A and B are shown apart, each in its own frame.
Chain A
């Protein structure tokens, strides 16, 4: 994989999966589930 493609993949993973995890934990803590 090229360096730029790998960088974009990591950015997408961090933002989307990191964002998902953050909001899921937040929802879990506030008993929104």
Chain B
């Protein structure tokens, strides 16, 4: 992402996007959840019953993401295990696509469930289940208190060791070298704004849900600034760790960094394992550290995604956490078996593209349009400012009303036009129809249908959910 978009220049634009869209939306979502004391559907329903469907659409997005994202964690767990013997050292590409994924020829050629993924998949669901079943304070908070510092320390170790390896400077150069000619390139700006949405987990129910648990007197803008800066600061650290090791790999192979750098799944599970094997005696330890860090990062994200959906169901059905967690996790775990087949990577890629680029971006766009232009934004602003030290002033209102709708709208429409003109990644149209457009239809129609379902306890629509209920 950084290398394709002007290197160091991307960071400046990204920082601008953080200040003008990331932080303002984070404050908005913290404000909504904190004021209305509910998950996304309940919070939107309390603003106006006509808004409830948006909350459910965001919850369905969470469900789809959880179903495929858990497989990425299962792959990372599997790589953690194989790092002990460096099982991937001889042929990293063949190991990933054949041994781990059992990849078939196309998205409709399922090729059966890959049994080697079942154990890590079961472990990932089990950790997720235990954390959510035990509740926010008893499970999620306790797990985060262990996972986040450990994750941070591991990435610091990898970054420090990586940046002292021969050739690491070339990797960092590749990451940070600014291409000033791209400063006014609109593509760089839309990429940075798009990235902010995904990096901060905004516009898909999570932040609204978590802020509903915050104490009444919580500094909302302060929390939003802290969460946004630490999240992006950590991404920078992880980038330094990865690129310095890629630089070392390029150095040891005598090639340019751009020849070894990839992105997404390929970077994590093909390029990086290849880079790890160049570290000599340290390779198994570094492999285990890296994939354990990836597993922990994935699990904390998965838990937050599922909590957003489970909290919404608890609100609507007025059911106990334990019962909802059992049913929801069971259904999601069964659905995730589809991604554990030989066609899993294709299905994951298509569903991910549609949920992220349309589900989240258009969900975010509709959210800021509804809240910024139709709902009384001033009342939300007053609530936020009544508890916050840094005031959400006219800069915040301007970001919510103008900057975010313009950027999200432009990004979403350009991707939509691009996908209509050229099939995404050259996949067959039938596959895009079933795994992409149909998923999108489920997100929209499902949102409307769930909003028509009667609230079991309508008092929540007036008072919100009491702190001790969840």
Restricting to B334-389, which residues have a CB under 8 Å from any CB of A? 389
Q: CA–CA, A5 to B172, complex, Å? A: 8
Q: Which chain B residues border A9 with CB–CB below 8 Å?
A: 8, 172, 175-176, 240
Q: Mark B121-157, 1 if CB is under 8 A from A, else 0.
A: 0000000000000000000000000000000000000
From A6, A19, A24, B176 is in contact (CB under 8 Å) with A6
Best-surrounded residue of A8, A11, A26, A27 (most CB of chain B within 10 A): A8
For chain A residues 1-33, which have a beta carbon within 8 Å of chain B? 1-2, 4-9, 11-13, 15-17, 19-20, 22-24, 26-27, 30, 32
Partner pick for A5 among B177, B219, B237, CB 8 A cutoff: B177
Q: With contacts A30-B222, A30-B389 known, is A8 near B233, CB below 8 A?
A: no
Across the interface, which residues of A come within 8 angstroms of B240, CB to CB? 9
The reply to whether A2 and B236 contact each other, CB–CB distance below 8 Å, is no
- Is B172's CB under 8 angstroms from A1's CB? yes
User: Which chain A residues lie closer than 8 Å to B233 at the CB level?
Assistant: 16-17, 19-20
Cβ-closest chain A residue relative to B219: A32
CA gap between A18 and B230 in the complex, in Å: 10
**B225 contacts chain A at the CB level, 8 A cutoff:** yes
Instruction: Give chain B nearest CB distance to A33 CB in angstroms.
Output: 10
Contact call A23/B230, Cβ cutoff below 8 A: yes
Most chain B CB inside 10 Å of its own CB: which residue of A9, A22, A24: A9
**Beta-carbon nearest neighbor of B247 in chain A:** A1
Q: Beyond A1-B176, A27-B219: 20 further Cβ-contacts under 8 Å? A: A1-B169, A1-B173, A5-B172, A5-B175, A5-B176, A5-B177, A8-B11, A8-B12, A8-B178, A9-B172, A9-B175, A11-B8, A12-B15, A16-B15, A16-B229, A23-B230, A26-B222, A27-B223, A30-B389, A32-B219
User: What are the nearest 4 A-B pairs in CB distance?
Assistant: A8-B8, A20-B233, A23-B226, A19-B229
A-B contact pairs, 7 of them (CB 8 A): A1-B173, A8-B9, A9-B172, A12-B11, A12-B15, A17-B233, A30-B389
